[in-house]
Amino acid sequence: MDSLILKNQITIFTTTYCPYCTFAKDFLTRNALPFVEIDVTGNTSFREDLVKKTGGRTTVPQIFIGETSIGGYDDLMALSKTNNFEKLLKNAGIMLKNPLD
């Protein structure tokens, strides 16, 4: 799993049936923030690794900015309203092209 979470990208772990995964991807797309999606639908062992990597979180989406786990959709929305969001993006080498929508 560590090889999938790179320090210079946004990584989002999703399932096909999760509306919050869709909301998170829509937010990132709308704001021209590139991301890599990893679908964990039906992959029990991968989900177990993800729970360990996220400190016990069992829900999706799970979003990483660089190597930092930021949580799920609600966490993304809350973080996007702070200066820390831009700092995390900058540390990952990702620049905002426009103000967030």
pLDDT at 9 over 70: yes
Q: How far apart are CA 82 and CA 63, in angstroms?
A: 17
Please provide residue 64's backbone torsions phi and psi, each rounded to the nearest 5 degrees. -120, 135
Q: Which two tokens stand for residue 31?
A: 């704001």
Residue 100 lies in a domain: no
The average confidence (pLDDT) of the chain is: 90
pTM: 0.90
11 bridge partner residues: 36, 64
Alpha-carbon distances of 82 from 62, 75, 76, 85, 86, rounded to whole Å = 19, 11, 10, 6, 8
pLDDT of residue 2: 58
- pLDDT score for 40: 93
Backbone angles phi, psi at 71, to 5 degrees: 105, -145
Question: Would 35 be classed as within a structural domain?
Answer: yes
Higher pLDDT, residue 98 or 34: 34
- For residues 92, 43, 79 and 8, what is the CA-based torsion angle, rounded to 10 degrees? 0
| Domain count across the chain | 1
Percent of the chain with pLDDT over 70: 93
Any domain includes 99? no
Would 97 be classed as within a structural domain?
Answer: no
Comparing 89 with 3, the larger pLDDT belongs to 89
We report the CATH number of the domain holding residue 61 as 3.40.30.10
Q: Examine the pLDDT at 3 and tell me if it is beyond 80.
A: no
Residues spanned by the domain of 66: 2-91
